[in-house]
Chains A and B, each alone.
Chain A
Amino acid sequence: MSAPDDHSGEDHGGLNRPRQVASAPEGRVVPTVRVQEAPFDLAAESAALVAGRVDVGGLASFVGLCRADDGLAALVLEHYPGMTERAIAGIAAEACARWPLTGCTVIHRHGRLEPGAPIVLVLTASSHRAAALESCAFLIDWLKTRAPFWKREEFAGGAERWVEAKAEDDAAAARWEMRGA
């Protein structure tokens, strides 16, 4: 299935394991965290995470978008400036501690976002796919329950309501709790 030169992040083990060494020095990954009103550029952020490196075998991405449920006209995201950045940085640091990541980017937008608009970007890079995919899922699950954002829905007729926290989001976040910690 895999070509001999396939260094796509699959863990072939043994002789087929990629032999390149990291171009960046060993050490702690410093996650990129931004909270902004402006849109983000998935391609540019992805390129930035792997630029100049040859130790990245997998890059996982999650983009959360605004859905047009029930005639929604817009979502208005409020957040807690200061705490938001701290909370996301803490969650990203937790991901870097749990998985061997080479890079991590989290960008969360706030303000008024219309259906189809991207809301949140999570990027994780690692030598192997499992770490990238798992840490990406972990990050978005914990962002939903641990980052201080609140969504208000605006509807075409002028009605509005605050989105309520969902039990399934708590359950999704809870599956990453460390047992015995």
Chain B
Amino acid sequence: MRVLYFAWVRQKVGVAEEDVSPPPEVRDVAGLVAWLAARSPGHAAAFAQARQIRAAVNQEFATPDASLAGAEEVAFFPPVTGG
């Protein structure tokens, strides 16, 4: 599974993307956040305020309870500020 980070989430994690293989018990977005947060101090800092993080699964916005079944690309980022 490819995981992408954007904006200050990317800065805190320290990389823009990485390939990960979470264990089978990681089934949804919230589970992936908890699992990723344990990978490094940077990850922990990025995910410390989970309420400020948004996610997309396969390039569609996803809620914390969204399933990871079929997820090839998961992205984490702050609330968007375009326009």
Contact = CB atoms under 8 A, between A and B. Distances in A.
Interface of A: 64, 77-80, 82-83, 86-87, 108, 119-120, 140, 143-152, 162-165, 169
Contacts, number: 70
Interface residues of B, number: 16
Given A80-B6, A140-B83, A149-B83, A165 B78 contact: yes
Contacts of B75: 80, 83, 148
Interface in B66-80: 75, 77-80
Nearest to A122: B83
Given A86-B60, A148-B80, 10 more contacts: A77-B82, A83-B56, A119-B83, A144-B81, A147-B82, A149-B83, A150-B78, A150-B80, A150-B82, A151-B82
A80 B82 contact: no
B7 to A, nearest CB: 4
Interface of B: 4, 6-8, 56, 59-61, 75, 77-83
B82 A108 contact: yes
Given A83-B56, A83-B75, A165 B8 contact: no
Contacts of B82: 77, 79, 108, 120, 143-144, 147-151
A162 B8 contact: yes
Contacts of A119: 83
Nearest to A83: B59
Given A150-B77, A152-B7, A162-B78, A80 B83 contact: no
A163 B81 contact: yes
A154 B53 CA distance: 22
A86 B57 CA distance: 13
B56 A80 contact: yes
A83 B75 CA distance: 10
A86 B80 contact: no
A166 to B, nearest CB: 8
A159 to B, nearest CB: 15
Q: Which of A80, A151, A152, A164 has the most CB of B within 10 A?
A: A80
Nearest to B8: A162
Given A80-B6, A148-B6, A165 B80 contact: yes
Contacts of A147: 80, 82-83
